[in-house]
Amino acid sequence: MSLVDILVRLINDVDLYADLLRVSESPIRVGFELTDTGERATLVIADSLTVEEGAVNPTLTLILTRELLERALQGEVDLFALAGRSRMDEKRPVDFEFTDRERVRESMECLYRLATFFLIPGQVKTRSLRLDLAGTAHGARPIPLVYWRDLRTAWYHVPSGSVLNEAGETDPWPQAFIVLRGRGQVVIGDFELDLEPQRIYYVPRRITHQIRAADDVELIWLAWDAPAFA
């Protein structure tokens, strides 16, 4: 199956969600580049979704291997998780480049939506929250769930003895941790509380926040008022 055939299959699979992929009145051209086979194709996101063979004036380019793309189609890897990073300069198995520097914010929003809806096989989109599918970021193992305009959500596994956000980074947007299971402590500013499952912890803007895991901890992370490119 050629890269064009794969993208056509994904277009057919995403029919229920196709309207959610569009971020602009102007078409966005997403190049796909497979580094191990040299194949290239362009997904055009406009009133409808179409595919062109080759790299045809891409607005942005998604870079990965054919082997990784085929494994994603079999549900063996989560491309969104593999693309996630703590810092934008980190290298990951799934990489991207912005060609049109005037449309970087649109391009980033487009990537989020493709990762959420397009790069998952099946006509009804689901995501498996399994540790073997998780990426690595901030000292933990996340699987992004939905990145949408100013909203970000992810499932996190924090291994026993680890600290989520050990560097103590702060962010200019509010956040929350919804704890599903595990024991440990949550640090919010000068406060340290025992972690309780089935409880949500709210993090103000520009405040240090950490999860210190005594046991394996699973949680849902939320952030809002968070721009796409930050």
3-state helix, strand, coil in the chain (%, to 5): 25, 35, 45
Residue in the structure block whose two tokens are 């005594």? 214
User: How confident is residue 89, by pLDDT bands cut at 50, 70 and 90?
Assistant: low
* Fold annotation for 134-223: Jelly Rolls (2.60.120)
Q: Is the pTM of this model over 0.95?
A: no
pLDDT of residue 83: 85
% the chain with pLDDT above 70: 96
Please write the tens of the pLDDT for every residue from 105-137: 999 999 999 999 999 999 999 999 999 999 998
Higher pLDDT, 87 or 16: 16
The pLDDT of residue 47 is above 70: yes
* Fold annotation for 3-118: Nonspecific Lipid-transfer Protein; Chain A (3.30.1050)
The pLDDT of residue 87 is above 90: no
Quick check: helix, strand or coil at residue 150?
Answer: coil
Q: Enumerate the domain spans of the chain.
A: 3-118, 134-223
pLDDT of residue 222: 97
Query: Do the domains 3-118 and 134-223 sit in the same CATH topology, yes or no?
Result: no
The pLDDT of residue 98 is above 80: yes
> How many other C-beta atoms lie within 10 A of the C-beta of residue 126?
7
The pLDDT of residue 85 is above 80: no
Angstrom distance (rounded) from CA 144 to CA 115: 9
Helices 3-13 and 66-73 pack at an angle, to 10 degrees, of 30
Structure tokens at 151: 């909203």
Contact 175, 222 (CB under 8 A): yes
Angstrom distance (rounded) from CA 71 to CA 204: 39
User: How confident is residue 227, by pLDDT bands cut at 50, 70 and 90?
Assistant: confident
> How many other C-beta atoms lie within 10 A of the C-beta of residue 16?
11
pLDDT of residue 88: 53
Pairing of strands 28-34, 60-64: parallel
Quick check: helix, strand or coil at residue 174?
Answer: coil
pLDDT of residue 228: 64
Residue 90: burial class (beta carbons within 10 Å; 0-12, 13-18, 19+): exposed
The pLDDT of residue 57 is above 80: yes
Angstrom distance (rounded) from CA 162 to CA 56: 45
pLDDT of residue 160: 97
Phi and psi at 10, nearest 5°, equal -65, -35
